[in-house]
Amino acid sequence: MKILIIGATSAIAKASARLYAARKAQLFLIARNEELLIELKEDLMIRGARSVAYYVLDLSNQKNHGEALEQARQSLEKIDIALLCHGSLPDQEACENDYNRAKKEINVNGLSIISLCTELSKVFKAQQSGVLAVITSVAGDRGRQPNFIYGAAKSMVSTYLQGLRGKLLAHKVHVIDIKPGLVDSPMTSKFDKGLLWSTPELVANKIVRGIDRKNHTVYVPGYWRIIMATVCLIPEFIFKRLKI
Ligand SMILES: NC(=O)c1ccc[n+]([C@@H]2O[C@H](COP(=O)([O-])OP(=O)(O)OC[C@H]3O[C@@H](n4cnc5c(N)ncnc54)[C@H](OP(=O)(O)O)[C@@H]3O)[C@@H](O)[C@H]2O)c1
């Protein structure tokens, strides 16, 4: 099994990579921090990975996406699964008052993913196989006051993936949208944790299972599907007054 993980040093990505390492996968990792990539490579080799190679890239720089993916393709020869994990949780207030800051966040959480999916679609179409799995968020399901810049970027990606899924069907390529709820990771280190929180390990288990089963949209944990369906049912005249 040949797996490309982008944003590989994220907590959720690392936990997912460990599950694939235990299956003796060949892994290609892309992330911006080389020290963490070296550490992760050693960790994955100990856990059973057949091989691990990596490429250092700030993913907000779309100019280098093609080159990075070409390296991945050459190293793995074929890509069975591409898992896209990078993202950042912006300071909502700061983004509301500074368009350039909002643009930067939308670039990382939205446009950089679409750029990578564009290049990966070409690879998968040429192969006539592959699974494209992207981590978005439940935040994309409805624009909420505390995080609508992040939510808007994630929602853009989810809508994009819905269309891409149909386009790639004829090429035997499967597209999965993974929507975690609240996960205890470096991204959320400043938040108080409660009942609805999950661990990166639990999320990784659900991601790998969703990919195995070729699900379309995976809410992680599953109860977020019900929570977000309920949130989406709230009439707008009430919803606009809620700070949830
Ligand atoms: N945690 C949650 O509650 C939650 C909920 C829903 C969805 N998600 C999504 O889950 C995914 C994984 O997040 P996580 O929870 O595992 O958080 P995390 O550990 O903080 O991971 C985020 C990763 O994104 C990387 N990244 C950010 N900007 C980048 C850039 N310009 N170039 C390269 N890498 C960049 C970070 O790299 P550095 O380590 O180098 O900074 C980090 O590895 C993200 O897409 C996130 O939006 C998380």
Q: What pLDDT, on the 0 to 100 scale, is given for residue 228?
A: 98
Question: What architecture (CATH level 2) is domain 2-239?
Answer: 3-Layer(aba) Sandwich (3.40)
Which ligand 1 atom lies nearest to the CA of residue 188? 1
Q: What residue segments make up the domains of the chain, in order of their start?
A: 2-239
One-letter amino acid of 159? T
User: What is the rounded distance in angstroms from the CA atom of residue 22 to the CA atom of residue 17?
Assistant: 9
Q: What pLDDT sits at residue 17?
A: 98
Global confidence as pTM: 0.98
pLDDT of residue 1: 97
Span from the CA of 7 to the centroid of ligand 1 (angstroms): 7
pLDDT value, residue 31: 98
Digit-by-digit pLDDT tens for the chain (244 residues) are: 999 999 999 999 999 999 999 999 999 999 999 999 999 999 999 999 999 999 999 999 999 999 999 999 999 999 999 999 999 999 999 999 999 999 999 999 999 999 999 999 999 999 999 999 999 999 999 999 999 999 999 999 999 999 999 999 999 999 999 999 999 999 999 999 999 999 999 999 999 999 999 999 999 999 999 999 999 999 999 999 999 9
Q: Decide whether any atom of ligand 1 lies within 6 Å of the 33 Cβ.
A: yes
Distances (CA, A) of 74 to 71, 82, 103, 171, 191: 5, 14, 33, 21, 41
Mutate to test the pocket of ligand 1, among 32, 138, 141, 150 (most ligand atoms within 8 A of CB): 32
Residues whose CB falls within 8 Å of the CB of residue 18, separated by 6 or more in sequence, listed in order? 43, 44, 47, 204
Does 186 sit in the ligand 1 pocket, CB within 6 Å?
A: yes
By DSSP bridging, strand 2-6 and strand 217-220 are unpaired
